[in-house]
Structure 1
Amino acid sequence: MDKDTLFSSFGKWLSPICSKMFHTQIAKSGQDKYVKKLTTLAYLKLFLHAQLQQREGLREIADDVLSKEFQRELGLETISAAQLSRKHSRVNPDLLQQIFERLAKQILSRHGCSIANRKALRIIDSTTVALCLQRYKWADFRKTKAGIKLHLRLAFADAHEVLPEKATITTARKNDRTQMDDLIHEEGITYVFDRGYVDYRIFDRYCSDGIYFATRLKENAMIEPLQSLEIPEDSKVTMDERVLVGSGQKRMKHKLRMVETTDSQSNLLILLTNRFDLSCDEISEMYRSRWAIETFFKWMKQHLKIKHFYGTSQQAAHNQVWLTLIAFCLLMLAKLDANVEHSLLQIQRWLKALMWKPYALWIGRMKRKPSRKSAGRRRLEPT
């Protein structure tokens, strides 16, 4: 019997999680100590299935267990919404974060992303998920609104594909700059981020530590021009200078490079970077690549379950965000395994349609070449 017939499509999709390391983590953490029915693995299967099916609440998730195929997958015949609620609030978010980071590392390794490339690039940004203040009082944001913020670092696999690599979750009130140490720390990589992350003291540290960055200049920034750099004749750049930034005690010790260019809508962009080894056009293209993270956030909010939460506690909300990122990574790994060009959304649709069929049927469908119309749409999606 072919190995692909031994797995349902859903079971195969989840297989990257079910590693020896995962079971070791569970045993070490004591997460399933004294648990007889709803183990952490069963919890992951239930809630990742809910991600795919876009379930609205815990009762719908509990009703999914009425399926005989799902019962065989879970080793359960029934589960209640109350049991799901308790488990969802008790699973340690750090465990789910570790699963996400391990899956992300697998994806990046298989794509060959390496800091050895002098143009190695990471995009840093955040997105806010609005919540009801009456139900989520711990997630204080504004007087009439609550929210959490997902801070994310994305890597580029190629010109079209962006891959989530690392994330942190905070309340929406938290300033983006507070997460820089968690997301930005590797030498030899250029980190691209917007003005919300500008901090001259940290920039001086990056210059000393060999960490590259590119960002936008704040409107009220104090700039002292030192030297004009040569601009190629056919360049879209209108200014390239070596400068000192800041004034008084906030003045940077290291010199930076200031590049003036325009975005795709012809709006003026004034960029700051500590990279002097690249051309001014390479610097401007690096910053323009920030659009990819906005496209990723839009895709994630549209196609994964992150707008409606299954629990109101901080732990439950964080767990759902990690589950969303895990689901995204599992879809990317499925695409890599099949070595196909279809969009993640199309692969997800086929998985939902063939969930309890043998994996051979799902991969066979993925192996069909996409139509020209589908291939054109792929450029508008994160993958």
Structure 2
Amino acid sequence: MNKHTTLPNLMQKMVSDEDLQSMIEAVGYHDTSRTFTVRTLVDFFLLAALHEWKSFRHGADVAKMYGLSTFHYSTVSKKAKEVPYEVMKRLFALVVSTCNRQTRRSLRFPKALRVVDSTTVTVGKNRLTWAPYHGERSGVNMHVAYSPEQQMPSDIVETVGLRHDGPVGEQLTDVPSVLVEDRAYFKIERLDRFVEQKQPFVIRMKDNVEIHQKRA
């Protein structure tokens, strides 16, 4: 399977054409196009989010490389305006509920999840002179460890806005939990240490990382 089409194919398995058609009919929308359907629009949006396409024009230019048919960017724009928001809302709700059921059945996490991420809060540079950020702004980072079970933060570390996420992430590790982090916290040596410490983790890899499997 082409790696670029994995996500649309996964969506196809989770939401059948019949499911999608039921949502479309439920909101009173009539999908008259035979070439650029609602399903195609959904696939376009999925790939656009995954690969960070800059615009409809950019997406239309590279669509064929990712397994989609050839179309003009204005077709995407027109379709996006036509399809009611309620269709996407129902689609999202179905995917989330399906993922939750499948995840609970298949993964059965032995430990609680601990989700770590950060956000930057900026103000005028004169408000926080001790935390210069960029240009005329000052900023602080809030590094948060969130508990999905309790639906609330379990730990917070504050730093100046220019402090990199990686080193701060060390203060938020917790062996009794499954650590979930974004690629800002990714470092190969760190993962090796987690394995030695028996720290369960799910961390997104950086785009430039290549994995080579040793041959026997």
Scaled by the length of structure 2, the TM-score of the pair is 0.48
| Bigger relative CO (Cα 8 Å, ≥ 6 apart) | 1
**Structure of greater Rg:** 1
